[in-house]
């Protein structure tokens, strides 16, 4: 293997491109996990848990559910 004559330049360039895409994919995945806002479905799940645990009444649950579903 002679690295000085440019014989393997094409493969080295290819691996740099592959590595770059891998890094971009990792950063994109971390961004999606860390910085996306809460979904409206999450709000409904929280509401259901609060109702199931007895923290809110049936009337409060139904009223809040209507409001959340109207925003969807």
Distance CA 25, CA 17 (A): 12
User: Is the predicted pLDDT of residue 38 greater than 90, yes or no?
Assistant: no
The answer, yes or no, to whether residue 36 has pLDDT greater than 60, is yes
53 or 14: which carries more pLDDT confidence? Answer: 53
pLDDT more than 70, % of the chain: 75
Neighbours of 2 (CB within 10 A): 7
DSSP-derived secondary structure for 2-28? -TTTTTTHHHHHHHHHHHHHHHHHHHH
**In terms of C-beta distances under 8 Å and separation of at least 24 residues, what long-range contacts does 6-13 make, across chains too?**
none
Q: Enumerate the domain spans of the chain.
A: 1-36, 37-72
Task: State the pTM of this model.
Answer: 0.44
pLDDT band at 42; cut points 50, 70, 90: confident
CA neighbours closer than 13 Å in the CB half-sphere of residue 47: 17
Q: What is the pLDDT of residue 33?
A: 79
């Amino acid at each position: 293997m002679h690295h000085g004559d440019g014989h393997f330049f094409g493969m080295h360039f290819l691996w740099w491109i592959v590595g770059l895409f891998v890094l971009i994919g990792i950063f994109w995945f971390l961004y999606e996990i860390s910085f996306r806002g809460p979904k409206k479905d999450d709000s409904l799940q929280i509401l259901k848990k609060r109702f199931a645990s007895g923290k809110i009444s049936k009337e409060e649950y139904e009223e809040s559910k209507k409001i959340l579903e109207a925003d969807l």
